Structure 1
Amino acid sequence: MTEATGIVGEFLALKAETDADLLAMQCGDFYEFFDDDAETVAEELDLKVSQKSSHGSSYPMAGVPVDDLTPYLKALVERGYRVAVADQHETADGHAREITRVVTPGTLVDTGRENAQYLAAVVRDSEGRSPSGNRTQSGDGDAYGLAFADITTGQFQVTSLDGPDAAADLVTELYRFDPVEILPGPDVRTDDDLLEGVRERTDATMTLHATNAFAPGRARHTVREQFGTETVESVGIADDDAAVRAAGAVLSYVEETGQGALASITRLRAYGATDHVALDATTQRNLELTETMQGDRDGSLFSTIDHTVTSAGGRLLREWLSRPRRVRGELTRRQSAVAALAEAAMAREDLRETLDGAYDLERLASMAATGSADAGDLLRIADTLALLPAVDDLVESTDRLAESPLADIVAGADREAAADLAADLDAAIVDDPPDTVTQGGLFRRGYDDELDEVIAAHEEAEEWIETLDEREKRRHGLTHLQVDRNKTDGYYIQVGKSEADDVPDEYEGIKTLKNSERFTIPELEEKEREILRLEERRGEMEYDRFRDLRERVGERADLLQTVGRALAELDALASLATHAVRNDWARPELHDGQALSVRQGRHPVVEQTTEFVPNDLHMDEDRRFLIVTGPNMSGKSTYMRQAALITLLAQVGSFVPAESARVGLVDGIYTRVGALDELAQGRSTFMVEMQELSNILHSASEESLVILDEVGRGTATYDGISIAWAATEYLVNQVRAKTLFATHYHELTALGDELPTVENVHVAVAGEPDSPAGSGTSSHAADESDGDVTFLRTVREGPTDRSYGIHVADLAGVPEPVVDRSRNVLERLREDEAIEVRGGEQESGETTQVVFDLDSGQFERSGGGGEERVATDGSPDRDPERGDIDPDAEAVVEELRDLDVNETPPVELMATVQAWQERLEGHDS
């Protein structure tokens, strides 16, 4: 194809200057896409494709109006495209175009997302510099630096992670922040395993940013230029190379994209892992904090307790749930604010009603700073700032609120400065400004004297036009005459067909229609030229003044963000108070010890949809590990999850669903609840289960809360019991975390009598007598075989010795013959009676019967010519006494004899057992 020239050639030349996926180039009143970009945009956005000829060749072309570019950009960016924008400007030689910005998922300012929109950078310091600036010891692993910027709100946060689990912690932080775009540093780009882990946990776009942006010297200079040397020192990252490099890369990228968003990034906040509760991706998913296991918002903890009336308040509440705090002073402050709002019911509702009129100031501040705010946005800023005095007065006039931390929250925003800016904006912008900022009609009279003169002249000329028709009717005796304007004919006088021949000679015809004629006169043409000059002049002057006004507002981004954050915090606290009052939640007592004591606790989500049975929970130094047994579907999982959610809510600063609660602050919450095959990643259910268990055993500490809902169920019974037993011992003796462990391996309940700090509890069924507290025993008076079992959902002391699984199978609709046969087999197993194998008749007509040998864990054929061992899969089993053990199996046995169980870490032991199992299964096949 011949090389393109003209507009298409200019487009292709500009496209070659950028690494963006698409280019939108302004051509007059439209932004055009050409060539492959046009085809892509047309397919993505359902645009019509036309053809543009250039130098004898034809190129696809698609375009959108200048004023409509933003929604199209948003749609493209949300699909993962990076879009460069080339704007047109006038020069002495005509038009010129240049790329002014690149819009990416992390730098899209005008977004409709309710949640935060983070741009993240990740760097690795392979020398292992710790957050304190010290080198980590050899073998302790790498250190990682993380920076998160939300340019829609101006939030900017940095941290460092180091130690042997730093890579896993990094993935957890990325899952927690859920960035839309990630900039991996040079050392991270080559770590395929890490990148794969990140891709599994986030949907973020990966963007390769310039390597030199991550260089320590350049990054440090960039950060200090943005925030000042004193700020970098004061927040404690001056000696933290990893954090500084990540922060510098983010700032460099935002500046390079040309969005102008750096003006909204006014505050740098460094946070540490010790400030927040560790919540890995698995735990957040299992506890359904912000979405259910199916990915729905409804049914999550957030949707249940969210009564916020502003988007900023909802965003903040979601942030609190995803990142609970460990700072008791901050949590106590929130609790006191919630308590005050809960007690002052009328004031709380008045506050929520007032906040209901607030717009998202943090995002509006960013839009003003980046130059994307229109006149309506400035009015929304003014309206929201004007709410601050009303909120302040409401808090001050209510004694309960005035004495609470709410007063400090409001006082943190500069009421006088907010009122002044609101008044300035209200005095400048008309009540109903046009959507475009280039055509005039934005400003009130009195805002600018020079502009007022042009507006007066323009309005005078328009009035002359508006009264022309009446004057012409009177002058010439015409009745069917009107004056109008359109883009084709400009201003014109239209006269009905019946009177068209009676118009004076000065009327010059310009168009004939079916029922009328259009004319013009010299005075009208002159006045039209005057109006066009005035409109152009007014549009230019108003646009210049609007940009100045918007820039001044952008310079007050810090004020807007402070006010916006205060209003959002009030909204989030009012939401927590509203839910607490409506659902009879209690203020928990916080402390730094091991105790977790809950009286009549409930699950915050489940209680909304069912008549909930509350339960008590007590854990302390001497009672740190609870083995939870009971029937399937009886409520074990709910009981454990509610313990985790009550702990989490307490460390959000919320009240909790209980009659009373005393909660020891934890450094992390870890859960292992069920597992699904991840076959696409080559991981079976059991492998996923073991990896989750491994993470817990490595990550949890004495100050953590661990929830284990079954361990070892994905493998053979004896393997599973062994793993669960070893994991229990390790958690009790080494980790010492508060742990609730639900299991169907009733053999584990014996550990309650042997290990200190381990106790048994169970979920009761109807007919079971109350067990004495701490007795370690319970009855199973309600027998599964009778087919009539009622779950009480009540947790009692001591273990249970059966799971009532057949009853659950019946409830699930398993065919009745299968359920009946199951009961029959179960009864015979309990009585050590022979079981007839139905369908297994021999040629002689005899019936095969088998007995389950508890000692060997195998079935043995009964009757006839003696007994023969049968594996649980029905295949004949070798008799060890005959000495005919397979050589491969014998090798495994020898390895088992040589293994020192007491000196082998549990995770290594589990891996060894699994390897043996795979060797044996491979040989059998």
Structure 2
Amino acid sequence: MKEKISPGMQQYLDIKANYPDAFLLFRMGDFYELFYDDALKAGQILELTVTSRNKNAEKPIPMAGVPYHSAKGYIDTLVENGYKVAIAEQMEDPKQAVGVVRREVVQVITPGTQVAQTENGKAENNYITALFSDTSGKFGFAYADLATGELKATHLENEEAVLNEASALQTKEMILSCAISDELKDNLTTRLQLVFSEQEKILELDEITHLTENLKEPLMLQATNALLSYLHATQMRKLSHLEIAQVYQTRHFLSMDHFSKYNLELTSSIRTGKKHGTLFWLLDETKTAMGSRLLKQWITRPLLSMEKIFNRQNGVESLLNSFFERSEIQDSLKGVYDLERLSGRVAFGHVNAKDLLQLKNSLEQIPRLQAILESINTGEWNDLLAEMDACPDLVDLIQQAIDENAPASITEGNIIKTGYNATLDEYREAMQNGSRWILELEEKERNATGIKTLRIDYNRKDGYFFHVTNSNLSMMKEFDYFYRKATLKNSERYGTEELAKLERVILEATDKSVDLEYQLFLDIRKIVETHITRLKRTAAAVATLDSLASLATVAENYSYKRPTLVPNGRTLEIIDGRHPVVERVLGNNEYIPNSIKMNEATNLLLITGPNMSGKSTYMRQLALTVIMAQIGSFVPAERAVIPLFDKIFTRIGASDDLISGQSTFMVEMMEANQALRHATAQSLILFDELGRGTATYDGMALAQAIIEYIHDNIHAKTLFSTHYHELTALSDSLGELKNVHVGAVEKDGVVHFLHKMMDGAADKSYGIHVAKIAGLPVDLLERAASILSHLENNEQKELPNKPTEEIAQLSLFQEISTEEIGVVDTIKKLNLLEMTPLDALNTLYELQKMI
């Protein structure tokens, strides 16, 4: 027999059927309830107690709930774990509902539509992306930030470009309106752990279609339409804060693949995944959330337009030379809240009275910012000034309407100022003066009737009434404006029109005032919504000013200089350059600067020298200097002349790709392949110890072949560090290659690294000296020195046998067992360089068992 489902549970099942891929939070009174599998899964993720709705039934329905007033934290946890959450609200008052309370899903919150926060509390961009492809193999790509309203689209040539662009945006959700290859899907999933959502139905709505009016290319249009349709379907509210889609071209920015951005730690630390210790951490002296987000975008998308770079440099220089004005600007910026997100909250209907007060306070800073810029303006600030709008009419409205001490809730009253609305003032007067009015009327009627015991009482049935005892009833006959309301054994209850009017005002004042305040606030919010375009334009201008002021502050704090960028240039000259992040960590006085000089005839520097001497730092230093220069920043050097680079490729540092299970050597070859296939003569290539992940001769052969290929075919500016000293001989046959090395001084067997780059090749690697610094046993180091001496003097490079006396000494104490010989043989046969970390762990476990 089929178990009977209650009307309420049937309603839940009907709604859930439309959102099978989301947790459904079903509002029931003061709780959001989850049922069936949702309850079981959410119970584990959120650590909720799972109960049953019908405990006595044959198959009880699992149930878990969260309080509606604290639901946000639970929702955020689910979304951050990659899930979607559908919110089903009660759409009518349960007291007035006939039958089951009507419920509807009012919003679906997904990983791509959630408002994200950074570690410092500033709201960061959370981009949701969309992808569309046809049989050509090319892609239309669109992205939006639902909180800020940013909407952009582009055309991508291949799957690698899709992967790079998605990685650059760090998207958490991608909308697909077409099929994509399993390889691309796997790469996107392993690299970004993103959620895929499908949107086949394209909506034809005016509020959506006008946003794509600038898009003519079919692939871009399809991707953007799919994205907008998905946002409309999940958010179920106006998208009026979204900007008209802007077309951008990836070729307008300096290209860096996801490997390079990862290696250079532009916005995220390799070790911690956090901002600290990155270029973004160094440069971010912004005072607003908008400025911080924009600066991050600049860092991940350096410019290729000399005009735009020059304009930013001029802005930085102007603020750098105007210390007091810059200080005043940054003081004012501290009072500017996140106008971009406030605009989004207005459009979504999420804004409250406190938000409007923040908006007013922010806009009040604009005239001051304009005045300061005008005082230092030499022409470079005209465009920015034209974009800033103080919106005085909006400031006046909020000033007149919103109480400075308004609560966060918009449904509990006390948000509208007295004097803004006459009716609301009457309600408030009634609420504040009702008791006094009753006493005054009571006294008035006592004097009129002469009844000294006349009093006004109240009960729920009769409301307010005059209480007259039977002994005084005869005195009421001559006052015909009194009417009888009720008769009791010893008294009568009377009413008057004046008392009835007073009663209506008093009893309705509280409810009516709250309702009226809510409606007045909604009306104000609608007016604010009409100003969204002005607010977003102002927000963009403020963010730009904030970012430029941040770069100026950093330039002043660390003595950065304005670089000279040369389009199509072939000369690279950085005098006394420093690694910006390492310098900040160590302090200005401890970091040793280094110059980099590559004239038109030199395209490749082959760097030799010991470990720990600073080769990797030197290479990263160049890449970060180039990136800083091409975002418009000043750079850490005494002087810098830099070609305008179109792409940067890096392979710096050894690391396994733990996610995809690839060894260090495989990662090296993949990153090298990216550079060799896509670099141009205007690119920058940085290869650190390439080839060391395999056998010596294999590695050396590959390293030499790669160097020759770059030299003969690409001609890109390249820094190539190596331990293979044999490669330094290439300077005799490769005209564009120059040897440089990191200096070191050895005294009494102790090596001192100078951390200074010098011309020519290093004479040795100092590996044993580094091992000594690391604290290895003395007898081990002596044996290593003996082996090294043998190898250096042996043309066959054969390893020497272990001294016989050492073997004899070992046999005095311990015989080698058969089991131990088996372990040794097993270890000898291992191909470590082809093992994944998981394979290595399993092998170690087996070896442990053997022992």
Residue 205 of structure 1 corresponds to which residue in structure 2?
195
- Give the corresponding residue for 2:407: 434
Is 1:384–2:362 an aligned residue pair? Answer: yes
What residue number does 1:535 align with? Answer: 510
Task: Give the aligned partner of residue 576 of structure 1.
Answer: 551
**2:210 matched to which residue of 1?**
226
The answer as to whether partners of 1:86 and 1:97 remain within 8 angstroms in 2 is yes
Q: 1:434 to 1:835 in 2, by over 3 A?
A: closer
Q: How does 1:333-732 map to 2 (within 5 A)?
A: 333-397=311-375, 399=376, 402-415=377-390, 418-448=391-421, 452-465=422-435, 531=506, 533-592=508-567, 593-610=569-586, 611-678=590-657, 681-732=660-711
Q: What residue is the counterpart of 1:921 in the other structure? A: none
Distance 1:59 1:680 in 2: 38
Equivalences for residues 755-834 of structure 1 within 5 A: 755-766=734-745, 782=746, 787-832=749-794
Between 749-758 and 149-158, the greater mean CA deviation after superposition: 749-758
Among residues 242, 245, 251, which one is paired with 1:265 in the alignment?
242
Structure 2: distance between partners of 1:542 and 1:245:
44
Q: Secondary structure at the match of 1:568?
A: helix
The one-letter code of the counterpart of 1:372 is H
- 2:200 is matched by which residue type in structure 1? T
How much does 1:49 deviate?
5.0
Partner of 1:132: none
| Matches for 1:749-760 after TM superposition, within 5 Å | 749-760=728-739
Code of the residue aligned with 2:156 in structure 1: it is L
Q: 1:342 to 1:729 in 2, by over 3 A?
A: same
Q: Which residue of 1 aligns with 2:229?
A: 252
2:279 counterpart of 1:301: yes
Aligned to 2:103: 97
Q: Which moved more, 1:46-55 or 1:71-80?
A: 46-55
Question: CA shift at 1:105, angstroms?
Answer: 1.7
Tell me the distance in 1 between the aligned counterparts of 2:669 and 2:79: 38
Determine the C-alpha separation between the residues in 1 that align with 2:282 and 2:46.
35
Give, in whole Å, the separation in 1 of the partners of 2:12 and 2:280.
47
**SS of 1:597 mapped into structure 2:** strand
In structure 1, distance between residues paired with 2:28 and 2:516: 23
Question: Which of 286-295 and 552-561 deviates more?
Answer: 552-561
Determine the structure 1 residue equivalent to 2:113: 107
Partner of 2:8: 7
Alpha-carbon distance between aligned partners in 2 of 1:539 and 1:41, rounded to the nearest angstrom: 37
Q: CA deviation at 1:261?
A: 5.2
Say if 1:841 and 1:820 are closer, same or farther in 2 by CA, change over 3 A.
Answer: closer
Shift of 1:223: 9.4
Pair 1:195-2:185 in alignment:
yes
Structure 1 residue 321: Cα displacement? 0.8
Q: Which sections of structure 2, spanning at least 5 residues, go unmatched?
A: 443-462, 465-493, 812-826, 835-851
Give the whole-Å Cα distance in 2 for the aligned partners of 1:728 and 1:548: 69
Structure 2 residue matching 1:337: 3-state secondary structure: helix
Contact 1:338 1:573 survives alignment (8 Å)? yes
Where does residue 483 of structure 1 map in the other structure?
A: none
Change (3 A) 1:831 1:382: same
Give the TM-score normalised by structure 1.
0.76
Residue number among 114, 121, 124 corresponding to 2:133 in the alignment: 124
* SS of match in other structure, 1:186: coil
Q: 1:252 to 1:715 in 2, by over 3 A?
A: same
Distance 1:79 1:821 in 2: 53
**1:370–1:554 contact (8 Å) kept in structure 2:** no
User: Which whole-Å deviations, capped at 9, do the CAs of 1:609-636 have from their partners, x for residues lacking one?
Assistant: 2211111111232111111111211111
Matching residue of 1:331: 309
Q: Distance in 2 between matches of 1:245 and 1:69?
A: 36
SS in 2 for 1:681: coil
- In structure 1, what is the equivalent of residue 256 of structure 2? 279
- Secondary structure of 1:731's match? helix
Query: Which amino acid in 2 is paired with 1:623?
Result: T
Instruction: Rate the CA distance shift 1:760–1:30 in 2: closer, same or farther, 3 A.
Output: same
Following the alignment from structure 1 to structure 2, what is the Cα–Cα distance between the partners of residues 113 and 427?
30
Residues 836 and 287 (structure 1 numbering): CA distance in 2 closer, same or farther, change over 3 Å?
A: closer
Q: How many residues align?
A: 756
In the TM superposition, residue 103 of structure 1 has moved relative to its aligned partner by 1.6
Q: Contact 2:430–2:506 at 8 Å: present in 1 too?
A: no
- The one-letter code sitting in structure 2 at the alignment partner of 1:386 is E
The 1:117/1:682 distance shift into structure 2, 3 A limit, reads: closer
Change in CA separation of 1:544 and 1:223 when aligned onto 2, cut-off 3 Å? closer
Higher mean displacement: 320-329 or 814-823: 814-823
State the distance in 1 between where 2:17 and 2:801 align: 76
TM-fit CA distance, 1:458: 3.7
- SS of match in other structure, 1:744: coil
Post-superposition offset of 1:831:
3.7
Conserved? CA contact 2:743–2:754, under 8 Å: yes
Aligned to 2:140: 145
8 Å Cα contact 1:376-1:433 kept in structure 2? yes
Q: Alpha carbons of 1:724 and 1:522: their partners in 2 closer, same or farther (altered >3 Å)?
A: farther
In 2, distance between residues paired with 1:731 and 1:681?
A: 28
User: Is the 8 Å Cα contact of residues 122 and 289 (structure 2) preserved in structure 1?
Assistant: no
Q: Distance in 1 between matches of 2:520 and 2:116?
A: 22
Describe the shift of the 1:829–1:103 C-alpha distance in structure 2 as closer, same or farther (beyond 3 A): closer
* 2:123 match: secondary structure: coil
The Cα shift of 1:667 comes to 0.8
Superposed displacement of residue 751, structure 1: 1.4
Farther-moved stretch of structure 1 (354-363 vs 794-803)? 794-803
Q: CA RMSD in A?
A: 3.6
| 1:481 equivalent in structure 2 | none
Aligned-pair identity (%): 36
Residue matched to 1:79: 81
* Kept in 2: contact 1:2–1:55 (CA 8 A): no
Give the AA of the match of 1:73.
I
Shift of 1:100: 2.2
Query: Contact 2:688/2:720 (CA < 8 Å) preserved in 1?
Result: yes
SS in 2 for 1:17: coil
The whole-number CA distance in structure 1 between the counterparts of 2:704 and 2:38 is: 61
Letter in 1 for 2:433: E
SS at match of 2:106: strand
Q: Does the Cα contact within 8 Å between 2:116 and 2:123 map onto a contact in 1? A: no
1:170 aligns with 2:162: yes
User: Which residue of structure 2 lines up, in the alignment, with residue 158 of structure 1?
Assistant: 153
Residues in 2 aligned to 1:806 and 1:443: alpha-carbon distance in whole angstroms: 76
Q: CA deviation at 1:601?
A: 0.3
The letter of the residue matching 1:17 is N
Conserved in 1, the CA contact under 8 Å of 2:25 and 2:32? yes
Does structure 1 retain, via aligned residues, the 8 Å contact 2:39–2:63?
yes
Structure 2 partner of 1:778: none
Post-superposition Cα deviations, 1:359-394, rounded to whole Å, max 9, x if no partner, equal 110011011001111111121111111211110011
User: CA deviation digits over 1:698-753, x for unaligned, max 9?
Assistant: 11111110000011111111111111111111111111111000011111111112
Paired with 1:826 and 1:195, the residues of 2 have a C-alpha distance of 49
Q: CA deviation at 1:662?
A: 0.9
Cross-structure match for 1:185: 177
The amino acid that maps onto 2:429 is E
- Equivalent AA in structure 1 for residue 405 of structure 2: D
Offset of residue 422 of structure 1: 1.8
